[in-house]
Structure 1
Amino acid sequence: MLPPLTYIVSRLRIRQLRLLIALDELGTLHRAAERIAISQPGATKALHEIETTFGTPLFTRSAQGLQANDLGRCVIRYARLIHSDLAHLHEEMQSILQGHGGHLAIGTVAGSVPLVLRALTSLRQMQPDISVQIVEDISPRLLKLLDEGRLDLAIARTSGSQHPDDYECLSLHAERLVLVAAPQHPQQDNPALSLADLSGYSWVVYPTGTPMRTVLEREFGEAGLEFPRYPLETSSTFTMLSLLQEDPQLVAVMPYSIACSSEDFGLLRRLPLELQARNEPCAIVHRRGSSLSPLASLLLEHLRNEQQALAED
């Protein structure tokens, strides 16, 4: 049986949490002890104290080292959150003492990058003395970073999460997707372009299981076409743009907002073929029950305002 919360709180130490994180990353007591600058006997004692506090083993032992079990992974996840919150506390206090405005970490899927940039530009006009970290990735990895406390907010999709109720969500509009290619692509000016015309070309696509990949697979299926064989897969917008520049025969699908801004810079052309399906809507997400910092709350308000302005255009 799990001990009472008051017992756990009275016995846990920050150094023990740091040891758990190091063990998860490094896999051995020796290397974890070096990471947090204690002796190996001290690390062994600290791990024993942690497992005694929780009343259960958190790791399985083998010749290869230590591997967290299910309960261990749960404890490590919260150890990261606590450590991250303390890091944010230190950064914000340091910023305040130096007369600055604090730190923000925000994650976003590719299609919402323009929304994030507009909101941050508006925010930084009001508070120029803030530091901001922007992470662009696919939703599962963003939610993992959010769970670990490495992000204050994320614009992502929670439908693929095993625990979607763990998040507070503010839904955004459904994302329009477009087909794109290099400006020199042979089909760029074909007014009667069909998906069948493009099926013989090589494609750059998002990884299997991502919403944009699912939309494209559905389009091919509904057209009675086989999905392109041997596509290039990437979740990086920059990589996708670079590949299109390298090979004028490639075709890709990307969010409308990214395609428009890239087209303005002459990096690609939108192809004259409208996709029937739309991408699954995103949401502005943060951990349920975790209070936002004043700066993160202010960014959330700017994101809402920018989203409203987009909806009215």
Structure 2
Amino acid sequence: MKIPALRALISAIDEGSLRAAARRIGVSQPALTKMIRELEQELAAPLLVRSTTGVTPTAQGKVLYERAGLALRELAGAAQEIGQLGGRMSGQLRIGAVPLAVMLLVPETLRTFSREFDGVHLQINEELYIEQLMNLRRGDVDIALGPIPDRLPPGEFHVEVLMPVSMVVVARRGSVHASA
């Protein structure tokens, strides 16, 4: 499998259109179609369902989409690490954060991190923590900021406590909900 063909498939699925995917990766639509057809022939499986409204992945296409995305992120990470070993602190750090972390931790982090590592682009996604864990497992984010969920499988993630957080329920004095 060729990396440009994997990028073509990912773009087609992300965009839902061969024309938009071709524009996104900077090739002609016939060239993109040819790359995807070669992948389908190599795997002996259909990867996309084509219709007048665009393209959608087949079950096989979804499998390759997930694995190809992970492989491309791993290769990009390897290139970043190699550059860092040569003294260049550059690349991208993708952070998933719950809204509370975005309000409390991210502003100061942005100021200090950007000063120290100006060649590293930070991408911050704000979502609920369960979604962030799924993104972390898939490799869509590098770091997740949020609460530690109950029954987190031991050893799956490296966890570092940044701050204790206590959440409380507050009701006004005399409220019927005060003892709820």
TM-score, normalisation: structure 1: 0.43
Contact 1:111–1:175, Cα closer than 8 Å, also in 2:
no
Q: Residues 31 and 99 from structure 1, CA distance in 2 versus in 1: closer, same or farther, beyond 3 angstroms? A: closer
Partner of 1:47: 36
1:169 aligns with 2:150: no
Residue of structure 2 equivalent to 1:154: 144
Is the contact between residue 91 and residue 102 of structure 1 (CA under 8 Å) also seen in structure 2?
Answer: yes
C-alpha distance after superposition, 1:163-222 (max 9, x if no partner): x87x91356799632246xxxxxx7xx5x444537xxxxxxxxxxxxxxxxxxxxxxxx9
Change (3 A) 1:93 1:115: farther
The CA distance in 2 between the partners of 1:153 and 1:31, in whole Å, is 30
The 1-side partners of 2:166 and 2:176 are apart by 17
What fraction of aligned residue pairs are identical, expressed as a percent?
29
Alpha-carbon separation, structure 2, partners of 1:50 and 1:23: 13
**Match for residue 196 of structure 1 among 154, 174, 177:** 177
> Per the alignment, do residues 74 and 174 of structure 1 end up closer, same or farther by CA in structure 2, a change over 3 Å counting?
farther
Q: What is the rounded CA distance, in whole Å, between the counterparts of 1:113 and 1:98 in structure 2?
A: 30
Shift of 1:115: 8.5
Please state whether the residue corresponding to 2:116 is helix, strand or coil: coil
Distance in 2 separating the partners of 1:135 and 1:56: 34
Does 1:70 find its partner at 2:59?
A: yes
Q: RMSD over aligned Cα, in angstroms?
A: 4.0
Name the residue aligned to 1:34.
23
Residue-by-residue CA offset, 1:270-309 (whole Å, 9 max, x unaligned): xxxxxxxxxxxxxxxxxxxxxxxxxxxxxxxxxxxxxxxx
Task: Flag the structure with more relative contact order, 1 or 2, with Cα contacts below 8 A and sequence separation at least 6.
Answer: 1
Distance in 2 between residues matched to 1:174 and 1:128, nearest whole Å:
26
Structure with max Cα Rg: 1
Q: Distance in 2 between matches of 1:170 and 1:89?
A: 20
What is the aligned partner in structure 2 of residue 137 from structure 1?
127
Q: What's the counterpart of residue 295 of structure 1?
A: none
Instruction: Tell whether 2:58 aligns with 1:58.
Output: no
Q: Please report how far the alpha carbon of residue 57 of structure 1 lies from its aligned counterpart in structure 2 after TM superposition.
A: 1.1
8 A contact 2:83–2:90 mirrored in 1: no
Aligned equivalents of 2:148, 2:62: Cα separation in 1: 21
Aligned counterpart, 1:178: 168
CA–CA separation in structure 1 for the residues paired with 2:80 and 2:176: 51
User: How far has the Cα of 1:151 moved from its partner?
Assistant: 1.3
What secondary structure sits across from 1:177 in the alignment?
coil
Q: Structure 1 counterpart of 2:156, which letter?
A: E
Residue segments in structure 2 that go unaligned for 5+ positions in a row: none
* Deviation string, structure 1 residues 147-167 (Cα, Å, up to 9, x no partner): 5533112245797xxxx87x9
| TM-score normalized with structure 2 length | 0.68
Contact kept, 8 Å, 1:143 with 1:156, in 2: the verdict is no
In the alignment, residue 76 of structure 1 is paired with which amino acid? Y
Alignment of 1:101-140 (within 5 A): 103-112=92-101, 128-129=116-117, 131=120, 132-140=122-130
SS of residue paired to 1:168? coil
